Amino acid sequence: MTLFNRLLPLIGHTLAPQALEALRLLNRPFELEVDPFHWSARETSIRFRNRLGIAGGVDKDAGQIRGWHHFGAGFVEVGTVTPEPQGPNPGWIMGRDAETKALWNRMGFPSKGGKIAKENLREWRIFENTHELERFPIFVNIGKNRNTSLEDANKDYASLIGLFARAEQRLADAFVINISSPNTKGLRDLFQKERLAEFLKPIATALTTHGTPGLLKLSPDLEAESLKNAVHVACDLGIDGFIATNTTIERKPGSPFPQEGGVSGAPLTERSRQCLEALIRELGNEKTSKLVVSAGGVMTRDEYLRRRDIGADLVQAYAALAFQGPWFFSNTLTRPKS
């Protein structure tokens, strides 16, 4: 892969906020298929205007919410946000393959930090109130700083919950606990049976203290026993739901990407779908009281509908936006003419 081809995805990602804003100004809001969904958890009751939203990793610092709202997203997951600002991993961090509709990244939670994300969210909520808009659901995906040890990781997550939840107005509708990224060294080790409960307990306490729901984001690479343990530990601690899934370390034959880092897009479709099915089986009767969000390889309207049929309450897009742009919402949520 040439240097130009390596740099092109990063350039596109860097310029995406400006492009989204320009497109917002040039396009009228879309009239989309109405499919509202209501979710109540802890002290919150949230109405989603539709069930298709933005996955974490697209809007890392909550600076693009106005654009995604304009183009019809039902909700946005911002982040991953870390307590302190940090840059990306060194070296090559992004790639895309148009032939296989695949994205690859090893960014490692680049973030402007919790204070900047909080201020951006505050500005959006002011805009929302000033223009008398229906509340737009926002999930805040939280993670640890790179130099924070695994033993102290839960302190980073709990501190971010406190930072956003103590704001003068409710900024986040839910927090996404991200330990499933393959791009922060050792992070997925927190899913180990002997570590997960100890890690999650203070986070669950912080969620209860502030009355805000929390969702555990799952890795598509978890083996069956690890997935089962993660689901039951989270449920026992009162975590309010799950997002399945993050990116995968699996490589299809002929993949142009390095072994390190995570792949999303079409190569993730089947694995993410299987993880959703396994999650719902493990939840059993508890499914009715938990929010289930499906992400990973949702590239078409048919796949969106399939995830809904399997049992996902909400569905998220990431790679599809890179290949189809913000029109993915109108393509997916508008019934095709017969």
Catalytic residues: 181
Residue whose C-alpha is closest to residue 240's, from 295, 290, 314: 290
3-state secondary structure 101-165: CEEEECCCCCECCHHHHHHHHHHHHHHHHHCCCCCCCEEEEECCCCCCCCCCHHHHHHHHHHHHH
Q: Where do the DSSP E strands lie in the chain?
A: 37-41, 44-48, 52-54, 76-81, 94-97, 102-105, 138-142, 174-178, 214-218, 241-244, 262-265, 291-295, 314-317
Q: Which two structure tokens, joined as six digits, stand for 154?
A: 């839960």
Q: Which two structure tokens, joined as six digits, stand for 134?
A: 């229906």
Say whether 216 sits in a helix, a strand or coil: strand
Q: Which two structure tokens, joined as six digits, stand for 330?
A: 């109108």
Residue whose C-alpha is closest to residue 243's, from 261, 220, 223: 220
Q: For residues 116 and 85, is the Cβ–Cβ distance under 8 A?
A: yes
Q: From CA 23, how far away is CA 36, in angstroms rounded?
A: 25
